[in-house]
A and B are shown apart, each in its own frame.
Chain A
Amino acid sequence: MELGRWLIAVVFALFSISPVAFGQPAKASEKSPASAALIPDTTIAINSPTPLSARVVAYTIDAKYDPSTHGLDASEVLTYHNLTGQPLDRFPFHLYLNAFQPKATWIREAKAMGTRDVAYDEWKEEDFASEEIRSFEVVGIGDLTSKLEFIQADDGNKDDKTVVEVVLPKAIAPNDFVQFKIKFHDKFPETQARTGWKRDFVLGGQWFPKVGVWWHGAWNCHQFHATTEFFADFGVYDVTLTLPQNEVVGASGVRVKEVKNPDGTQTLTYHGDDIHDFAWTASPRYRVAEDTFQGSMGPVQLRIMMQPAHWDQEARHAKILKQTLDHFERWYGPYPYKTLTLVDPEPDSAAGGMEYPTFITGGTSWWVPAGLAYPEIVVEHEFGHQYWYGMVATNEFEEAWLDEGINSYTEVKILDDVLGRKTSVLNLFGMTAGEREIQRLQYTFVPDFDPLSRFAYKFANFNSYGGVTYGKTASVLLTLEKLVGEDTMRNALHTYFMRYRFTHPTGEDFLKTLEEVSGRDLGWYFKQAVYGTQILDYESLRFVSTPADWYKKDLKEKKGETVYQSTVTIHRKGDFLFPVDVEVKFDNGEKVREQWDGQDRWVKFHYVKKAKVDSVEVDPDHLIHLDRDNFNNSRTGKPKPAPARKLANYWTFLSQCFAQLLAWWLV
């Protein structure tokens, strides 16, 4: 920090020595001068006559972006409403962009565990980003720039500057307001973790100093980690962006003002109500389509910003976006915002597949065929976050499964309905793939490293974080449908959404809602599925059918006449206990359903019938998505070599091709 500012701060501190300066709360009659500043109860950006959230914050940001330097200068006025019920004298702020520095925790973890896009084999100048606070003033108190201190509560990495804290000389009383005036400068990186620039494109994500969340009696303001996302309070955003006139701009909230400046720049003002973050994007090359969705609370303006080479996929994006909106409205609850901006980001940037309030990024390429539903999956998933993160604003640092996982579950449900259960990912050249199986596979490759409930930055590795947070949660909830029914699950999610929208619920809140709506005690299941790492794996171990008169020397077996004694053995291979159905099929076509509580290691079923057992299948309705190995669920009496032959034929053909290709060029 600059020396001059430091001196001013010292002088200010000397003048401000008083009882409250040492953290004692101000008396009710001694409200801070910022009390006059209230958080507005505007409803410009929502289809509601009244605010929808307990607005804790109001951000007014005036920013100027320079595309030539990828830098941004801004002033921010943050009004904070102390609804914590206790005096506050410490305020932590996220400075997320500082994560992209070589010694920062984010990069350190990314190098150790990997990320989904940047490998960091070498450090490039373009990878560097920063978020520098140039002045920090508290209205009624003065300039506290010199009082700012970086803190590293998660890992003690002194080189990590993603959280800064200020201690006020006097505490803010309960229900009082405090206003921070912050001047800051951003340097965006070449896109990393859904923020930054690529060529002439920029995505402004996590770009301004953001106050932490007072949650469960303490500040919750984690450092930025390679596997974490975000957590913030609801409020009102008024953001003014100044950038060149050739830029096509999209942002959270609604655009309320647009001015062309004589210096060739434009100044655009956006307003957001009841949101907890604000993102924006600009590129001179976006092509924009406008559409409208008639929501249950009012019309929603859809703004779809496509790359020029993807313009022919605009209809595809619009269609899935509207289908998703429609499903969420019908199944889970209303979408209350007036806008939704869908951004098709710069190709091969690390900006695709991201959610911000009323603003999402998709992901596609110019060549993607209709049979590959990647764009649909991304759009559906990111829109889903408007509910699971956007409105039901869970803590993404600590309980990532509540946003990514529940969202993956609803993604499966909606894509099943829209694109087909077995074809929702791929339906091309005879090959098919469904989203529910893809989610399950994500999990089955890393089934036992981490429980769902683990803090996002404490997972064993990036694969485990992804597989468990997304895939396992989806599989846990799909499996739960077997216990409580599909309709009950839908009702439970609807209840959960309506009850906790615009709040910060916990995993416990979610699980209690499931139990309440289903009317069942599901603790035994959650203990294993949510808090445990047990593996679920049941197998049809063996079956035998022996003629009852096997000892007779003149026995002649006749189909339909000979009586057989059959024994079927089902084995629990894993340590996850779960009730299973078993279907035993006999060679006369008869089917018998059995229920097993799955508590013991194995169970045997005995039959005496004029038929032999033909096949046995655990979970014949395919409802247990947590089962790690589906191949061993069933067993047939007679081997059927055709599938293995088919695959072997493919394998043979491919290896012949390889051999011929080698010989073609080299001999």
Chain B
Amino acid sequence: MNDDDKNLISAGFGIVNRHKRYIFWFCVLNLALAWLRSIAFRQMASSTLDRSLLADRLLHGFDVPALLELMGRPEAGPMLEPTKVAAHFAFVFFFATLLFLPGVMEAYTNEGRLSRDEFFRVCGRNLWRFIRVFILFAILGGAVAGALFSAEHALVKLAGKSTNELLPFSTDVAILILIFLIMTLLRVWFDLSQVDVVFRDQPAVRKSLRAGFRYTRRHLFSLLASYVVIAIVAALILLVGVWIWHEAVPPQGVAAAFVVGQSMLILWLWTRFWQRGVAAAFYLREMAIVSPPSALSPPFVPPAPVPEPPEIAGEGGNQV
């Protein structure tokens, strides 16, 4: 990793740090939605556990058969329904992210603090553009992921014919890493395109996609390295979080578990925004435009024609 990459990562971090309130609000939104989607589950669990001594097996430790028995009770019904509800709310969070992300990107590419009005105005103006970017990403990403996972399946199956038991696993891990890198690259491309959409107030998203592709191709390793480093940080956060949860939180420590869990989620979300910060920092660096044609900036007014300088006679006269 060269100095440019490090600068990019730290610049991205700086941007996110300046606008950390957005991460907070996204977390609050996710938590609120999660709370709503867990109502059915909570009611089901409460009706069975609140007055049963057997529930102690779940509180003081985590007795898997007790959990399975709870899930298997006819009163609980199949877990499919709460899972469906959870999935629906996850999509709500996804659309909320789609809706509010333009405002975040606008803030990331601006020096000053965005007013609430400005934030929502940018969100509204870019919503349809972001949806189109998402659709294109879904098509392209789906096709690429589909092809890659098909290849993974075929190669792992092929490796399964080997007498080396570890070969299928090693093959799988290697291919999954490759898939991760390729999908990350796609994400870099589309992140840059999103920045371009917002920064240029670009209604034709194909132009932003072209610009994003161009930047990604030219700075492929630098951008990929930055994203991967941050993804590794995210993975470490998850691992450390699970370790703390396991080691430091007593089985009956519901509040402590909540705090650790939410901290993990905030930090995890932070890393994703950090990647977006990197995209914004990179974009700003590359554009090298002093006064970007941002939607929030005053309309671009071409400089007035410079009048022909009058002939100044004499020495020492300055030419404008």
Which A residues fall within an 8 A CB radius of B? Answer: 199-200, 285, 307-310, 347-348, 366-367, 422, 426, 429-434, 437-438, 440-441, 444-445, 615, 617, 629-636, 639-660, 662-667
Can you name the residue of chain A whose Cβ is closest to the Cβ of B260? A653
Top 4 A-B residue pairs of the complex, sorted by shortest distance between their CB atoms: A437-B65, A643-B55, A634-B53, A659-B90
In the bound complex, how far is the Cα of B276 from the Cα of A16, in angstroms? Answer: 94
Q: Are A632 and B90 in contact (CB under 8 A)?
A: no
Q: Are A646 and B59 in contact (CB under 8 A)?
A: yes
Q: Are A652 and B34 in contact (CB under 8 A)?
A: yes
Contact of A631 among B35, B52, B61, B86 (CB under 8 A): B52
In the bound complex, how far is the Cα of B66 from the Cα of A121, in angstroms? Answer: 34
A631-B70 CB under 8 A given contacts A640-B50, A659-B89, A663-B97: yes
User: Which residues of the other chain, B, contact A635 by a CB distance below 8 angstroms?
Assistant: 51-52
Interface residues of B: mostly helix, strand, loop or mixed?
Answer: helix
Q: How many interface contacts (CB-CB < 8 Å) are there between A and B?
A: 192
Residue B265 lies at the interface, judged by CB distance under 8 Å to chain A: yes
Tell me, rounded to whole Å, the shortest Cβ–Cβ distance linking B67 to chain A.
8
A656-B31 CB under 8 A given contacts A432-B63, A445-B72: yes
Q: Are B34 and A631 in contact (CB under 8 A)?
A: no
Can you name the residue of chain B whose Cβ is closest to the Cβ of A309? B165
Which B residues fall within an 8 A CB radius of A? Answer: 30-31, 33-35, 37-38, 41-42, 45-46, 48-56, 58-59, 61-70, 72-73, 82, 86-87, 89-91, 93-94, 97-98, 101, 130, 134, 137-138, 141, 160-166, 169, 183, 187, 246, 251-252, 254, 257-258, 261-262, 265, 268-269, 272
A633-B268 CB under 8 A given contacts A309-B165, A422-B63, A437-B65: no
In the bound complex, how far is the Cα of B42 from the Cα of A649, in angstroms? Answer: 9
Q: Are A617 and B53 in contact (CB under 8 A)?
A: yes
In the bound complex, how far is the Cα of B93 from the Cα of A366, in angstroms? Answer: 39
A636-B93 CB under 8 A given contacts A441-B68, A646-B254, A660-B269: no
A655-B90 CB under 8 A given contacts A647-B49, A660-B268: yes
User: Which residues of the other chain, B, contact A429 by a CB distance below 8 angstroms?
Assistant: 246
Q: Are B69 and A444 in contact (CB under 8 A)?
A: yes
Q: Are B93 and A646 in contact (CB under 8 A)?
A: no
Q: Are A647 and B37 in contact (CB under 8 A)?
A: no
Q: Are A646 and B257 in contact (CB under 8 A)?
A: yes
User: Which residues of the other chain, B, contact A652 by a CB distance below 8 angstroms?
Assistant: 31, 34-35, 37-38, 261
Can you name the residue of chain B whose Cβ is closest to the Cβ of A201? B163
Contact of B64 among A310, A431, A645 (CB under 8 A): A431
Beyond the given pairs A647-B49, A659-B93, 10 more chain A to chain B contacts, judged by CB atoms under 8 angstroms and listed by A's residue number, are: A200-B163, A631-B49, A644-B45, A646-B59, A648-B41, A657-B268, A660-B30, A663-B93, A666-B134, A667-B130
User: Which residues of the other chain, A, contact B183 by a CB distance below 8 angstroms?
Assistant: 665
22 contacts between A and B (CB under 8 A): A309-B166, A422-B63, A429-B246, A430-B246, A431-B64, A433-B64, A437-B69, A438-B65, A440-B65, A630-B54, A632-B52, A634-B52, A649-B261, A651-B41, A651-B82, A652-B31, A652-B35, A653-B261, A659-B33, A660-B268, A663-B97, A666-B141
User: Which residues of the other chain, A, contact B262 by a CB distance below 8 angstroms?
Assistant: 653
Q: Are B61 and A430 in contact (CB under 8 A)?
A: yes
In the bound complex, how far is the Cα of B49 from the Cα of A650, in angstroms? Answer: 15
Q: Are B94 and A663 in contact (CB under 8 A)?
A: yes
User: Which residues of the other chain, B, contact A651 by a CB distance below 8 angstroms?
Assistant: 38, 41-42, 82, 86
Can you name the residue of chain A whose Cβ is closest to the Cβ of B65? A437
User: Which residues of the other chain, B, contact A430 by a CB distance below 8 angstroms?
Assistant: 61-62, 246, 251
In the bound complex, how far is the Cα of B262 from the Cα of A657, in angstroms? Answer: 10
User: Which residues of the other chain, A, contact B34 by a CB distance below 8 angstroms?
Assistant: 652-653, 655-656, 659
Can you name the residue of chain B whose Cβ is closest to the Cβ of A634? B53
User: Which residues of the other chain, A, contact B59 by a CB distance below 8 angstroms?
Assistant: 640, 642-643, 646
In the bound complex, how far is the Cα of B130 from the Cα of A497, in angstroms? Answer: 74
Can you name the residue of chain A whose Cβ is closest to the Cβ of B271? A664
